[in-house]
């Protein structure tokens, strides 16, 4: 399973990249706004800055909701760098736009996926990635991981090439369970990635080794 970081924060992106395990980045309008990125010029520059840090796919989300504007916006985003993947919402216009981008050599990430039916449609339209939001599904008393399993089975049976990008990750356990369920990629906040490092027995064991090393 590949690891993407789910943030627009350059310091977090650098820190995850320095671990040597980072395969890409996802952003969304909420994450960009959180970093105070405003205006087209600054938005495009911020994506370029992210591409300079990470050697991997960077999802940049369109802000418009109608087909023609999505196409114009997506073309500008894709022109920033070869690693930009245009992130498109799961709507009727979004599906049309994904098909258009696919036919014109621009890779897409279909976002806001909450059902297997939506994932099938996105794959049919040729999305490179599909993003089921597992944390938000859990928040609404459904099982986000079960959706990953269902999409993974359907894609295997049907031979769809679209990669499953588990999104809306809230903790380290979500990462482990996404891997078990067949996600191709997990996009996570820095804290969840670092959460994978932690185990109290590791800390206790290391303290003992350090203590015993002094006797050597």
Contact with ligand E4P (CB under 6 A) among 3, 8, 26, 185: 26
Residue closer to ligand E4P, measured from CB, 83 or 131: 131
Angle subtended by helix axes 10-18 and 40-53, to nearest 10: 10
> Is 2 known to be catalytic?
no
47 binding ligand E4P? (CB under 6 A)? no
In sequence order, what are the beta bridge partners of 57? Answer: 24
Residue closer to ligand E4P, measured from CB, 126 or 189: 189
Contact with ligand E4P (CB under 6 A) among 15, 99, 136, 195: 136
187 binding ligand E4P? (CB under 6 A)? yes
Classify strands 57-61 and 185-188 as parallel, antiparallel or unpaired. unpaired
29 binding ligand E4P? (CB under 6 A)? no
Choose, from 76, 87, 92, 214, the residue flagged as catalytic: 87
Residue closer to ligand E4P, measured from CB, 118 or 168: 168
Binding string, residues 154-173; x marks residues near ligand E4P by CB under 6 A: -------------xx-----
108 binding ligand E4P? (CB under 6 A)? no
Q: What is the dihedral of CA 87, 93, 98, 99, to 10 degrees?
A: 180
Query: In this structure, what token pair is assigned to residue 65?
Result: 């909701």
114 binding ligand E4P? (CB under 6 A)? no
Residue 21: name the closest of 212, 185, 198, 177 by CA: 185
Contact with ligand E4P (CB under 6 A) among 23, 135, 138, 190: 135
7 binding ligand E4P? (CB under 6 A)? no
2 binding ligand E4P? (CB under 6 A)? no
* Positions that interact with ligand E4P (CB under 6 A): 6, 26, 28, 111, 131, 133, 135-136, 167-168, 187
Which residues have a catalytic role annotated?
A: 87
């Amino acid at each position: 399973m590949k690891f993407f970081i789910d943030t627009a924060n350059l310091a977090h992106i650098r820190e995850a990249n320095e671990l040597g395990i980072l395969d890409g980045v996802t952003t969304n309008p909420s994450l960009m706004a959180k970093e105070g990125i405003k205006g087209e010029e600054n938005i495009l520059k911020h994506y370029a800055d992210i591409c300079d840090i990470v050697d991997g796919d960077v999802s940049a989300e369109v802000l418009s909701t109608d087909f023609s504007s999505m196409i114009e916006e997506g073309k500008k985003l894709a022109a920033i760098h070869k690693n930009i993947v245009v992130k498109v919402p799961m709507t009727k216009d979004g599906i049309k736009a994904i098909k258009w981008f696919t036919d014109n050599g621009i890779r897409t990430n279909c976002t806001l996926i909450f059902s297997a039916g939506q994932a099938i449609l996105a794959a049919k339209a040729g999305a490179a990635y599909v993003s089921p939001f597992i944390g938000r599904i859990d928040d609404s008393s459904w099982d986000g991981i079960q959706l990953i399993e269902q999409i993974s089975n359907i894609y295997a049976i049907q031979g769809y090439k679209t990669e499953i990008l588990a999104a809306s990750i809230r903790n380290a356990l979500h990462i482990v369970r996404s891997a078990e369920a067949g996600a191709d990629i997990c996009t996570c906040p820095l804290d969840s990635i670092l959460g994978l490092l932690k185990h109290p027995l590791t800390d206790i064991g290391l303290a003992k080794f350090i203590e015993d090393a002094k006797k050597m």
